[in-house]
Amino acid sequence: MSIFSRPMNLFLAFAMPLLALQAAEPDPGAETAFLQRVLERRPRLGLGGADDFTIKDLCIDPDGARHVRFQQRYRGLRVWGGEAILHLDAGGAESPMTDALVRGIQVEVTPNLDQAEALAITDASEAPRGSYARAPAVELLVYPAAQLQRRADAGDGRNARDFAPRVTRFHLAYHIRLELQNGAPETRHDDYLVDAHTGAILKKWSTLFTVKGQGVPASTTGRSQYSGEVELGSLSAKCGYVMADPTRATISTRDLAGGTSGKGVLYVSQEGQWGDGANYDPSRGSKSPNGQTAAVDAHYGLQTTWDFYRNVLGRDGIDGKGRAAYNRVHYGSGYDNAFWDDDCFCMTYGDGETFKSVTALDVVGHEVSHGLCHATADLDYEGESGGLNEANSDIFGTMVYLYGNAAHGQGPRLPAEGARWTVGDDLETPAFPTPLRYMYKPSLDGFSPDAWSPDLDYLDVHLSSGPMNRAFYFLSQGASARKKDDSHSEYLPKGMRGIGNDKALRIWWRTLSTYLTPRSRYQDARQGAIRAAADLFGKDSPEVQAVRLAFHGINVDGHNAIIYSKGEDGRCPASSATGQHGR
């Protein structure tokens, strides 16, 4: 997933229990009991004997509450988007299940095409100019094709609540993932669903998640391009100082030196100083002090995001289990993007051509947070779920930037205000002198929508993320009642007050980690955020009301809902944030 996507191929504190989720160690006995509990209720869930489950994840709150993610299977095959989350308190009592199960499946599970034939179809569609980065991944599964349809009880408007996906047909399909990493001319990660009976390509989408040795721990100094002089976690070894941090699961930064494959070579310094603070000049070489600068920014960004997850979210790394990740810098030549790769558990950064080196702090936080999403809700990277995936990375990238600057990378809380509500400001050049995205008013980029509509399913995920970005801004900083202000919403004519960055972040994080599933839509995000806010602050709290208002502000709520709070001005009274952003 990259941070960038635009037409013409341009991309680009509060004292409270954290309730952070941590992945639990496997307990075969408990898992068997959880599986049995769900299997026994199949008739009540509208499922039959051919439906089965596997446990995908088990997370435990600090108070002992458990959240068990189940993957639905049909006659042994994974059901695309079919998931459920069982929520139990410390005593074993259940709260309502998060239900994204698929009912009424009827499909023949014997394919007419074998894997080789399906791969030949996708290879012909892909028409690669170079070789694949790794062998294609192929899985046979059940795919419920669905269309967004107006609900029978819909209101008069076009609110998200008025529409729901309806399965139109079940397909036996091959899910095929192809990865091309051949530099700026050809860097694509494309997923396909191919009908295993007819060979028809049912769907194709990009999954390039973009924005657009032995030794002892050591602290070294880097001169970054975007964050000034920074302290870097490194490793002191016989060969010198290595840009690998053993205090953070040995996260590391490596030099591809213009290549497009492999892990690259670890950066090593004899003096323990890196970089010159200037944008990369390829004529000076990737191993020169100038070439080290991109590595300094990427390494600092990864360690800052790692600390943010640990100190603010209470999470042990990207996957919650402390798995090390690494950066690859100087990818290809003139590559104007950065991306996360699930398979290598790594981030890759280009040197830019239209943009500066694509290693700014919010960009790094954005890319790393694609990995965080994959490890939790695993939101599919297309349609509304893809927009939520991109928005999640924009939200976390913005909060990581705030943490690294206004909060100086310290403490368990974020300042209530002071975030920079644009994405990619630091990458601006005379050729591209604007931010990539405006969270407070997405349409300022000329392409992104400010509110939900049925058209979101057909937009690039970097555009369909706009309404969720704006809802988070409203939740944190509020919406203005003044029509000329950029933070004004026609759906909130009286405006609203925000609850501050820290509270908004905690609500969103719990929504992502506890209540969303791969095919979640905006309406699911609203319902999950209301539950998350109630978990954290109480069901009748101002924070719950603020969540309702924030989603109302992007056209996602109940039928013709009137949800203004009891404040005399009709606005949520939880914070002094005003959300002006006039221009």
Of 435, 425, 421, nearest in space to 477 by CA: 421
Domain assignments of the chain as residue spans, ordered by start: 216-375
DSSP annotation string for 480-497: BS-TTBTTB-TT-TT-B-
Tell me the C-alpha distance between 81 and 323, whole Å. Answer: 26
* Residue closest to 98 by CA, chosen among 522, 383, 520, 386: 520
pLDDT per position as a tens digit, 439-470: 999 999 999 999 999 999 999 999 999 999 99
SS3 state at 456: helix
Helix (H) or strand (E) holding 150: strand 137-150
List residues bridging with 145 in a β-sheet: 169
Take residue 212 and report the two structure tokens written for it. 């657009």
pLDDT of residue 238: 73
Q: Which pLDDT score is estimated for 17?
A: 34
Q: Which of 14, 202, 29 is nearest to 107 (CA)?
A: 202
For 240-249, the pLDDT digits (tens) are 899 999 999 9
Task: Give burial (CB, 10 Å; 0-12/13-18/19+) of 124.
Answer: exposed
What the block records as the tokens of 27 is 């307990």
Token pair in block for residue 300: 């600092």
Q: Which fold has domain 216-375?
A: Elastase; domain 1 (3.10.170)
d(CA 120, CA 539): 53
What is the rounded distance in angstroms from the CA atom of residue 565 to the CA atom of residue 374?
35
What is the b/e burial string over 36-54, where b = at least 16 CB atoms within 10 angstroms of the residue's CB? eebeeebeebebeeebbbe
Alpha-carbon gap, residue 341 to 347, rounded angstroms: 6
Q: How many CB atoms lie within 10 A of CB 90?
A: 11
3-state DSSP assignment of residue 526: helix
Using alpha carbons, list the distances in angstroms from residue 503 to 312, 468, 477, 556, 579.
11, 16, 11, 21, 16
**pTM for this structure?**
0.82
> Distances from the Cα of 469 to the Cαs of 7, 13, 383, 452, in angstroms?
20, 21, 16, 11
Q: How far apart are CA 483 and CA 485, in angstroms?
A: 6
Task: Report pLDDT for 157.
Answer: 73
CA separation, residue 195 to residues 124, 140, 171, 305, 457 (Å)? 15, 10, 6, 40, 21
Q: Which of the residues are catalytic?
A: 367, 462
- Dist. CA 203–CA 201, nearest whole Å: 6
List Cα–Cα distances, 571 to 296, 468, 481, 496, 542, in angstroms: 44, 20, 10, 4, 10
List Cβ neighbours of 162 (8 Å cut-off, separation of 6 or more): 150, 151, 154, 155, 559
Give the burial class of 308: count Cβ atoms within 10 A of its Cβ; 0-12 exposed, 13-18 middle, 19 or more buried: buried
522-576 per-position pLDDT tens digit:
999 999 999 999 999 999 999 999 999 999 999 998 544 444 433 333 344 444 4
Residue spans of beta strands (DSSP E) within 382-503:
422-423, 437-438
3-state helix, strand, coil in the chain (%, to 5): 30, 25, 45
Digitized pLDDT (tens) for each residue of the chain, 583 residues in all? 666 554 333 333 223 334 444 555 556 677 888 999 999 999 999 999 999 999 999 988 988 999 999 999 999 999 999 999 999 999 989 999 999 999 999 999 999 999 999 999 999 999 999 999 999 999 999 999 999 898 888 877 789 988 999 999 999 999 999 999 999 889 999 999 999 999 999 999 999 887 664 456 788 999 999 999 999 999 988 778 999 999 999 999 999 999 999 999 999 998 899 999 999 999 999 999 999 999 999 999 999 999 999 999 999 999 999 999 999 999 999 999 999 999 999 999 999 999 999 999 999 999 999 999 999 999 999 999 999 999 999 999 999 999 999 988 888 999 999 999 999 999 999 999 999 999 999 999 999 999 999 999 999 999 999 999 999 999 999 999 999 999 999 999 999 999 999 999 999 999 999 999 999 999 999 999 999 999 999 999 999 999 999 999 999 985 444 444 333 333 444 444 456 675 3
What DSSP assignment string belongs to 73-111?
EETTEEEEEEEEEEEE-TTS-EEEEEEE---S-----S-
